[in-house]
Every structure is written in C-alpha cells, then in structure tokens.
Structure 1
Amino acid sequence: MVDKFPAEQQRIVKDLQDTVERLNTIARNVTPIKISKATGWFDLPDASPDEPGSGVRLYSSSGKLGVKNADGETLSIPIADVDNPANFSSPSSQTGDWASASAYTQLRADCARLHDTLRDLMNAMRSAGLMR
C-alpha cells in the first residue's frame, strides 16, 4: 500500500530533529544543581568526566568511586580486602658481634611501633568503610 502522507512524515521527522537539537543546546548550557542534602541514594554511572572549573567532581570508574579536581588530578577510593601485616618473628634481643643488643632492641621496638600504627590505621579505615 502506498503511503498517503509522505510529506507529513518528513515534516514530523524534521520537527523532531529540530526539537532534539534545541534540547541538546539547552542541556549544554544548564548550570548544575547544587545538592546539599540527599533524601535517598545516588547512582553514579561509570564515566570519565572532564575537570570541574573548581572544586572536585565525583565519578565512578569500573564500579569504584573516584574524584577529579580542577587540575585534572584523580583519586580513586578503593574498597578492597587488605590483610594486616604479619607480626615480627625475630627475637626481642640478639647476641653476636655484628650489633649491640641495645641497638637491635631499639630498632625492633621502632618497627613494632610502626607495625602497631599501621594496624590501627587499617582498622580505622575498615571501621569507616574505606576498606574491608
């Protein structure tokens, strides 16, 4: 069957194309809305955004939260399984000619404090939900 209104269809398609173009122009010029309070969750689709004019821009990359600043620097916020560092297995004192017992004991104590600090930091990050 032959279409009785081919000119009318062309006009409709042209009107739709003009409308889409006009909406695209408007969308490019709309200022982002500032959000100061959420009443629900936010879904961030995976994207690679441009740098913001100032401040930071949140985005998602492969399901991980990221932040991009005005200089183009990015920060990923990983949430991953992390094990505590292993405890020292060396003895608390050492005999022998190569090092004095007091120097070895002090070095071991320093390393033990570093270990404890790292463990406490990791536990705090787990409590904050930054890692598992």
Structure 2
Amino acid sequence: MKTTQEHHDRIAKMTFASVYPHLLAKVEKKGRTKDELHQVIQWLTGFNNKHLQQLIEEKATYETFFQKAKLNPNAHLITGVICGYRIEEIDNPTTKQARYLDKLVDELAKGRKMDKILRKG
C-alpha cells in the first residue's frame, strides 16, 4: 500500500499513551511479558521504563515520542510488511519508526526469539 500525507499526519498525532495499552495487551495475550515489551521498546528508542512512563503521562504524540528517541543504529534491519505497508518503502520518518515498533511488537507476540527481534544474529 502507498502511504498518504493524511496517513502520516494521523500517525504523527496519535499519542503513545493511547497505543501502549494495545501493544501490551497484544503481547500478553500471546504469553509474552510487559518486561519483554519494554526491552523491545528500549532497544528501538533508548527509553527506559521511567522515561516511557513520563511519555505516557505527558500524552506525547508519536511525532514527539520518536523525535525524543535515540533510534537504534540497527533499526534499518527491521524490514517486511506490517499493517499492509512495506517498511522499506515508507518515506516519512515518523511513520517508518511507528511501523518499526509495530513490527517488533508483532514479532514478540508471534513468539520470535528475543535475539532475532533485537537483530543480534
């Protein structure tokens, strides 16, 4: 699917606080833990638990969330299709980073090994 400016704007304006409960529910439903979810988020963004909680409390938008993140240098290794979009073809940085997070959470929920999710080998 091709992304549009409206799609990019919608992603940028979503708050991390509104998405986080869905991410957590998705992984817990499949037997994974909150700690594993936080490990994946920290790997991608550099945010520790305290910083994540602050971003949730201040209702940071995805745009702000990813602007404050120190994206992992190996994030570019996250490829494939998520939500109908091929990650490698997304040209908007915020949308691409949001899809990186979606893809990592999806892999976690599907039971993939943490080393593979964190692109260690």
TM-score w.r.t. length of structure 2: 0.23
Which gives a bigger RCO, structure 1 or 2 (Cα 8 Å, sep 6+)? 2
Of structures 1 and 2, the larger Rg is shown by 1
Greater share of residues in strand: 1
TM-score w.r.t. length of structure 1: 0.21
Greater share of residues in helix: 2
